Structure 1
Amino acid sequence: MTALGFLYPGHSAEDDYPRIEQLLGSDIRLTVVHTDIGEDAHRVDALLEMGSTARLAAGVEELRLSGAEAVVWACTSGSFVYGWQGAHDQVRALARTAGLPASSTSFGFAHAVQEIGARRVAVGATYPEDVAALFAAFLKDAGAEVVGVRGAGIVTAAEVATWEYDQVLALARAADHSDADAVLLPDTALHTASHLLALEKALSKPVLTANQVTVWEALRLSDRRVNAPELGTLFTKEPIVQV
């Protein structure tokens, strides 16, 4: 049994996690602990507070008691908003507090892009344009070429959580670029676990979504690889060997 822990901000699309656990179809348990988000706003000051050390530390003890072997801060905007170095500092502090390997969704995207061998990516973000631009800057610091960014201008996670498949697909299509090797949808408030195959079929390329890469990142921290075709290219592709 591999037990993985996730600190998830508030309540929006956390039901993606039991769905993903089911699709993994093996001896993997996903435990979600909710953190207090403060103000629900895709705004820089609110996101910095959401991802603060104190807010993350508050959920760590429950994850330790669950037997988690690794912990991931399941929030993209509440990690990349700190910038490349600040996001590293955030997960190092989380690892020290938890006494476990730790990461965040933002680093999950950075590692997943490398995993599938995507050199150029397009971003379809639910966030306002200024916040979406910060994610693009984070990806560039990770070594990816961002060929397009589309922000949907949604201010709250609560609204994002209401989106249906047609809205998710519309965002992905609007963000797609002919030069992009993959399309990234970076919001853990967005329900995507049931849509990955349909999205990849519609775009004819890999699609990386926030809750998907968050779980994959936790598995990576635990040195586990799982073949789960319904979770998209990321869960079926052989790892890229760096030469």
Structure 2
Amino acid sequence: MYGSRARLGLIIPSSTTSEPEYTGAVPEDASVHVARMRLEDTATAETLREMLDSVERCGSLLATANVDAIGFACTVGSLLDGPETATDIERQLSRLTDGPAVATAAAVDRALETLGVHTVAVATPYIDDLNDLERAFLEACGYEVTAIDGLGLESDLAMGAQPPSRAARQARAVDTPDADCVFISCTNYRTFEIIDDLEADLGKPVVSSNQATLWNLLEVAGVEHDRPSLGTLFDRSL
């Protein structure tokens, strides 16, 4: 039976990256079951806020699959009003599914805390307004942002069309000597193939939105993870 070890629920926007990255990285005896929120092709604070109206519907649908844990896989969508946005989403989904829930922004915070990060350089595909929200969230969580760089993309589909090599170049360019870690934000920005090589090149941990969400989701589901190609984070436990 698919998911004999764990059934993982995943709520995503109009992402074309999350499903392939998650399904390709979970253990063979775990399965990923996806519900989609409606997001028009422009990712702005306004459209992301409208998208959150779909959380209850998606959580209720995934509850019918009796998932063991559920992940809300959207970075800025889970930090629009600061850290409390992710907390509220996790509580809502836990209530709907009667199980643990993880929202990307909170997962990133947990990942950075677990890695002992104090200062972070951030690469994103976003427009400046979303980068400002990202910076505010990280600072509210107690991190110093040494640099942040966005590609200026508004189209979610355009973000998903970027090759992992683009994320790697951007991460190398935004890194600063005083950053403890580089964070590559956006669950629609492809990163899984590049994390190990980036860590070797930069000499520091690299965290990405999907990586942190998957790590946290497997942790709360009680699934051991053995992913040597997903960076330092996957060597750590909460």
**What is the TM-score with the length of structure 1 in the denominator?**
0.88
Q: Does 1:49 align with 2:50?
A: yes
Distance 1:66 1:142 in 2: 34
Q: What amino acid maps onto 1:19 in structure 2?
A: G
Query: Which residue of the partner structure matches residue 78 of structure 2?
Result: 79
Query: Which residue of the partner structure matches residue 34 of structure 1?
Result: 36
Q: Does 1:146 align with 2:152?
A: no
Residue of 9, 19, 22 corresponding to 1:17: 22
Distance 1:56 1:102 in 2: 12
Q: CA deviation at 1:147?
A: 1.5
SS of structure 2 residue aligned to 1:29:
strand
Query: Which residue of the partner structure matches residue 11 of structure 2?
Result: 7
Q: Aligned residue pairs: how many?
A: 233
Q: CA deviation at 1:225?
A: 4.1
* Structure 2: unaligned runs, 5 residues or longer: none
Query: Which residue of the partner structure matches residue 65 of structure 2?
Result: 66
Q: Pick which of 104-113 and 41-50 moved more.
A: 41-50
Q: How does 1:71-220 map to 2 (within 5 A)?
A: 71-220=70-219
SS of structure 1 residue aligned to 2:229:
helix
Distance 1:81 1:61 in 2: 23
Percent identity, aligned pairs only? Answer: 30
Q: Deviations over 1:172-221 (max 9, x none)?
A: 11221111111001101111122221222232221111111111121232
Q: What amino acid maps onto 1:20 in structure 2?
A: A
Task: Indicate conservation of the 8 Å contact 1:8/1:74, yes or no.
Answer: yes
Q: Deviations over 1:140-194 (max 9, x none)?
A: 2222222111122111110011111321112111221111111001101111122
